[in-house]
Structure formats: C-alpha cells, structure tokens
Structure 1
C-alpha cells in the first residue's frame, strides 16, 4: 500500500464548486500534500484560524463572502496573516487580477486551470514559505548560540562563519526567488510593481521620471501548449525571452508577469518614437521561426504601450492601462502594437458594466425572441423563421446583439443564453403548431400546407460542449417539438476549426433529422472544396456578398460558385440581406431558392407573427 508523505505541506481549499474541490483535492493529495477543503468563505476563515495551513487556494466568486473579503480578513489576523493565498478564478480581467494582488494575494490562477500550472505555483510558494521559515529559524539559532558561546567565541569562530555564510546564501536565494521568475530567471511581477513604484515617485528636486511600459502577450500560445505539450511551451517561452532580451539596451528591462505575458520598462524615455520603434523591432524579430526539438514554431506578439503621465500614482494603474492597450492590439488582429488612450479605459469599464448587466439580465430574464421569416423566391411563401435574441435593458433600452453576444461568448454566458433561446423557440413553435391543428379541426377552409420550421443559431461555445446532444434531446422532449421542424445554424469557422469533433456532432444531428445550416458561408475558411465532407442541408450566403449585387465593378463569381456547388451537392441555399427586388431577381436567376431580408420582412415579435399566421 502506498503511504503518502504529508511533509510537503498542508493546503486549505476554499471554493463553492464541489467539482473544483474534488479535482484539486485529488491532484494535490496525489502529490503528497495534506488537503482540507471548505465550500464557503466563513468556513474557510474558521478552518484557517483553527489549524493554520501552509497555503490557501481561494476562489473569488462565492456567495455571501467573496474571495477578496476572505483574503482581507485573513491578512488582518495575526495567526493567518503570513499564510500565502493563491486566487483561483474563471475571471481573467486585468481589474480583477489587480484587485486580487491588492488585497494580499501572492498569485492568480485562471480557470479552467492547467494541473501542471497549479502544481508548479503551489510548490513555488510553499518553497518560498519554507525558506522564510528556515531563515527565521537560523536567525533565532544564531542569536541563541552567540549568547551561550560568548566564552567559546574564539574556538567556534570558524563554525559560526560557515553558518553565517549559509544564512547569507539562503537569504540571497530567497531574495532572488521572491523577485524573479523561476523559468526564465527574469524579474517577476513583484519586482515590476516595485520598480514602477520607484519611477512614479518624484526625486529630491520634485522631478518625475519619464518612462514607458510595454505589455507583451504571445499570440495563440495556448495552441502550442495544447498541441505540443507544456514542456515544449516552457522551452518556447525561454527562447522568446532570450530573443526579446537580445533586442534591449541596459535602459530597457524585460520582466515576465506569468504565462506568456511579458513587460518591458523603458526609462528614461524622451519621445514616443523610442517605444514604438522598439515594438516594431521586436515584432520584426518574431518573424524568424523558433526551433524547439527540431520543430519550427512561428510566434507573434501583441504589444500595448503606456507612457508616464501626471495622473499615475499607483503601479497597478500603469499595468492595467498597458494591459488594456495590449488587448486592443489583440482585438485589431494581433501581431501589432497599440498605444493606450483614455477612451480604451472607458471602453473596458463600459464593457465590464455591460458584462455585469448581462449576468443580471439572464437571471431576471430581460430577453425576448423575435423571428425573421425566410421565404421562397418563387412565390414569397414563408418556409421558415430564424430566431433572433433581443435585449431591452431597463435603463439603456435596446442593446444590439453585436454588443453583448461577443461578451457572452468570451465569458461563457452564451451557453445558458443559447440554451434559453433554443428552449423558447421550440416552445413557441410547438404552441403555434398545436394552435393550427386545433383550428384545422374546426375549419374546413384552412389551407393545408407545410408548417414552417425554426432556425436557431448555435455558438462555437455551445458547439464544443460535451453534453450538447444531451441538452438538445432534453429540450425537444420537454417542449414536444418534432425534431424535423428544428434547424441549427453554425458558422463555417466553427465547423472547420473543430472539424474532427464536428463530423461526429453533425452525424448525430442528422440521425435525429435536425437540419443543419451553415451561417455566413464564404466569409471564413472559404471551404468550398471541403463542403462535401459534412452532412449539411442548407447554406446561407452572407449578406456582405448579397450587398454587392447591382454595384458596378463588383465581382460576383463567389456567389455563382456557392450556388453551383450547393446545387451539385443537393444543398438548399438561403441568401441573407435581401433588400431589393433586383437582389431577388438576380439570386433567383442563379438558382438560389430562398431569401431572408428587409425586402420581405424585418424580425417580427410573437404578436406580429401570430397576426401573420393566424390572421388575428
């Protein structure tokens, strides 16, 4: 029988999610740590004071008492003040990270976490704590020995000198470990904050240092870790650090914040061109591939730049704004640099407020669904409807899906939101079908025609859910809707990016007679040659192509190619954004069968559709 060695340290887990507690407990216990776990902040405080652990892993988002308050209260109590606290959270925003370090946290791990990363950070901080305790112990021992052996000082001088040397070595090692990253040996976040504080303080004459802070993030680095493993990823990070360092002067200090994030402190700086020229030089240097274990790996970096200003008084504000500028560079296509402006910060704050409102809106069900008809070109008969979500904010009024859907995608809120839309659409169409059936039994004049289907968009996050088919089956069973009346719209990029798993999912949808529609076709991977591999029922030609129809000099070969290929594969075609009779005439002449757009109908509310369907 294996006997675990609990001498490695005692760890307290505070998390309101049982799955997280079970996973972390299992992983840490297997490594020889003694683990206790609690499900809320109050129990965490009781557990920490009753039997202080060596380290605490603390979740941020918990009911009643969040992680920030728990950490603050721990730091206020003498018996728990020195216990290192590592925050674990699904929130990856800069403002949350800054707050975590501000209340006393020593580190920050983002969910979903990597096991190796959790173990590495736990071991690092426990080693740091052990070295601190050993240093205090050595100091106490030395003082006691000096008192006891004053008379023997001459004979014990050599031994004492050896112990003093050892103490200095441990102290030097502790200092280095506290201020440097163990992987790259670069200055770490703590040293960055210290140096930023120094440059923010005026000198004896009241003059401030002019500086620039550059925030660097490796583009698509996660792909390397996921495909080649974390060992290759670590070696790549070391190589990236060395290449960046080779471009710098003594006045430019490279530091690693963690993960694939680096910063460069440039001081003094006299004009913006010094930092922007360095940014261009660094990005140019990344054009040469890295060779790791015989593999060539191409890597690019996105850079945010912030310059010193009189309103900066705290290091975390400088770092926040540099991070904001970096994310702006990411949003504008990656592999570029952007200089921070106040409008960027205002946008981040606005986005944070919108995310908060979005969470509340989901809880309070502030959303509604409208349906835009899809018609047959031949007789303008409605054959289907597309379900479109609408948000009427109680204070701001209508908020466009283009503003909140990307936030829902990034935060994962799109999963409950998308499921709600699917359930609403299925319930509504089942109710309409039952109403038509009742009318049919009482009216001999009712025209017998096919009941229209409903199309629901499926996001990338939903498409990659492990239990996607289970959730769809559950909703169809709850609402009673015939699966043949449901169409799911998926973007071309989602299918191509997850082509292996996509094939299995699409086949399962086909087995349930759920039709599949590829949305925005032609704007993503231009995968005309791969289309035959997937069991697709409908292609939706993106409105950007339809808008070109009738404009002089526009090449419309892509529309002809899409229509010809779809017809050869017996796939139906729906054109989006049909706004003029000329659009309809041209598309119909090519063989396109169906259209959707303002020429026929705008998105309609439930009462408007009922007036249309039931002649109310």
Structure 2
C-alpha cells in the first residue's frame, strides 16, 4: 500500500484531493475568522479565502467549493447580495452557505435565511460548533446530490446573474418594493446598468416589468383565490384598490371583479 508522510508521521494511504471538503471563507476581517480557519485546517480540509464579496463570488464560481462561510458587513458588496447572486448561478445555487457574522439583529438573521443561507452563526463563535454545523450541511448536500443524480455544468455571465437576481428580488418583494437604486444595490449593481439589462434582455424598463408582474400575479389571485380586491391590491403593493382597479382595467380591459366573475364562469 502506498503511503504519504506528514509532519506528524505516516498516513496509511493517500487521499484523493478532490474528495476532501473544500471550504470558501469570505470575510474582510482576517482576525475574526482565524479560529475557524485553524479548526478547518486541523480537519485536513482545503480552504480558499476571499477578503470581500466580489472576490468571493468570482472564486465561488471558479472553484465550486463544498461550503461557503460568509460574513455580512463587507465593503463594495454585502453578504446578502453575494448570496442572491450565488443562488442565480447553475454552478453554485445548491452550495451551502453559512453566515458567520456579527450582524445579529432579527431582521438581518431573517434576511440571511431568505437570501439562501442554510445557517446563521453569530460572532463570537465556538469553532467546534461551527465545524459541526458545516459537517451537517455538507452531508445533507451530498445526500441531496446523490438522490437527485443531477450534475449541472453551465456558464453564467455577470449580466445573467444580475438579471436573474433582480427578477427574483422583485418577485419576492412585490408588496413593498424599494426604489430602483435600492433594487440595483441589492443585487450588486447600479440603477443605470440594471435598467440597461432589462431593456436589452427583457425588452421593457424595470418599472414596466414590475407593473406587468404585479398584474399577472393579480390575475392568478383573482382566478384561484378568495382574497378581496383590496387585499390583493395591498399584497401586490398598488397603494390603493382604486389604483389597482385603474391599472387592471387599462391592461386587461375589465375591472378585477369582472375578471374574477369571468374566470370562475359566473
């Protein structure tokens, strides 16, 4: 049997490097992650580092790590935006992301899970606990991959990732959408670039797209549910039932009530 020698003696057999877990750590504060880096190295796992989210996203797409440890508050792009973009790539959408951060408000914790994180650990942390959580999520991911039998190989441009992330963000926040600038910031770009992407790839402005999605969703709710017109208006962020009715009539050619009656065959 072939053996390999380490600083601590002889290891029984060489290990296929690709079978060793590969962890990407994205954090702009090296001292904060030093304890977990030492703990990961002690496991013999591979580590890649990134000191900001943009660099981390590039490395995630290229290296395809088994798990990502991610800070929230970083310059240029925060961890939530990173995670949104990560979830829009075919290569990384299933990669487990554990937030390891001092951003501990309830709103921030919920945002981390909403954007695709599988776990949320606050600093200061216990390295052994983080390791245990990492093992659990890598085991779960391995089981899901084996059961599904999926092997996705695809290339996504930056424009595609931004557009997908923006479309998903809009869909998830129809009720209370922020400004165009804030939508753009949430997916890691600026309003002019986002507007250009929508015009080039979808053929409409961002606001026209939002209006179309709201009206399309309203038709689904009117056809399949029993929500009142007022509730649908509130839920989709039209501001008032009057605004909703006016927009709906202009686009569909009838009032929401008339559409519901027709959809249900009355």
DSSP 3-state at the match of 2:129? helix
Compute the displacement of 1:70 (Å).
1.1
Whole-Å separation in 2 of the counterparts to 1:40 and 1:54 = 19
Report what 2:66 is aligned to.
Answer: 54
Whole-Å separation in 1 of the counterparts to 2:126 and 2:26 = 18
**Quick one: which of 103, 114, 119 aligns to 1:91?**
103
**Quick one: which of 11, 25, 28 aligns to 1:16?**
28
**Quick one: which of 105, 127, 131 aligns to 1:119?**
131
Compute the displacement of 1:64 (Å).
1.3
DSSP 3-state at the match of 2:31? helix
Distance 1:136 1:113, change over 3 A: same
Whole-Å separation in 2 of the counterparts to 1:67 and 1:53 = 17
Report what 1:66 is aligned to.
Answer: 78
Q: Please tell me whether residue 106 in structure 1 is matched to residue 100 in structure 2.
A: no
Compute the displacement of 1:206 (Å).
3.5
Report what 1:81 is aligned to.
Answer: 93
Deviations 1:343-395 (A, max 9, x none): xxxxxxxxxxxxxxxxxxxxxxxxxxxxxxxxxxxxxxxxxxxxxxxxxxxxx
Compute the displacement of 1:116 (Å).
2.3
Compute the displacement of 1:205 (Å).
7.4
Whole-Å separation in 2 of the counterparts to 1:37 and 1:21 = 10
Deviations 1:521-573 (A, max 9, x none): xxxxxxxxxxxxxxxxxxxxxxxxxxxxxxxxxxxxxxxxxxxxxxxxxxxxx
- Asked if the contact 1:21–1:37 (Cα under 8 Å) also holds between the matched residues in 2, the reply is no
Whole-Å separation in 2 of the counterparts to 1:36 and 1:20 = 16
Q: Which runs of 5+ in 2 are unaligned?
A: 1-5, 152-220, 236-266
Q: How many matched pairs?
A: 152
- Asked if the contact 2:27–2:51 (Cα under 8 Å) also holds between the matched residues in 1, the reply is yes
RMSD: 3.2
DSSP 3-state at the match of 1:65? coil
Compute the displacement of 1:32 (Å).
2.7
Whole-Å separation in 2 of the counterparts to 1:99 and 1:57 = 16
Compute the displacement of 1:52 (Å).
0.8
- 1:437-476 alignment, distance < 5 Å: none
- Asked if the contact 1:25–1:37 (Cα under 8 Å) also holds between the matched residues in 2, the reply is no
Deviations 1:152-197 (A, max 9, x none): xxxxxxxxxxxxxxxxxxxxxxxxxxxxxxxxxxxxxxxxxxxxxx
TM-score by length of 2: 0.50
- 1:368-383 alignment, distance < 5 Å: none
Compute the displacement of 1:8 (Å).
4.2
Compute the displacement of 1:113 (Å).
0.8
**Quick one: which of 39, 42, 47 aligns to 1:35?**
47
Whole-Å separation in 2 of the counterparts to 1:33 and 1:129 = 17
Compute the displacement of 1:133 (Å).
1.6
Whole-Å separation in 2 of the counterparts to 1:26 and 1:100 = 25
- 1:406-421 alignment, distance < 5 Å: none
DSSP 3-state at the match of 1:36? strand
Whole-Å separation in 2 of the counterparts to 1:133 and 1:72 = 21
Distance 1:96 1:205, change over 3 A: closer
Q: Which runs of 5+ in 1 are unaligned?
A: 141-200, 208-309, 314-616
Compute the displacement of 1:21 (Å).
3.4
Whole-Å separation in 2 of the counterparts to 1:68 and 1:205 = 33
- 1:240-319 alignment, distance < 5 Å: none
- Asked if the contact 2:35–2:127 (Cα under 8 Å) also holds between the matched residues in 1, the reply is no
Deviations 1:455-501 (A, max 9, x none): xxxxxxxxxxxxxxxxxxxxxxxxxxxxxxxxxxxxxxxxxxxxxxx
Report what 1:458 is aligned to.
Answer: none
Structure ranking higher in helix proportion: 2
Whole-Å separation in 1 of the counterparts to 2:32 and 2:48 = 13
Deviations 1:571-601 (A, max 9, x none): xxxxxxxxxxxxxxxxxxxxxxxxxxxxxxx
If asked which structure has higher relative contact order (CA below 8 Å, sep 6+), I would say 2
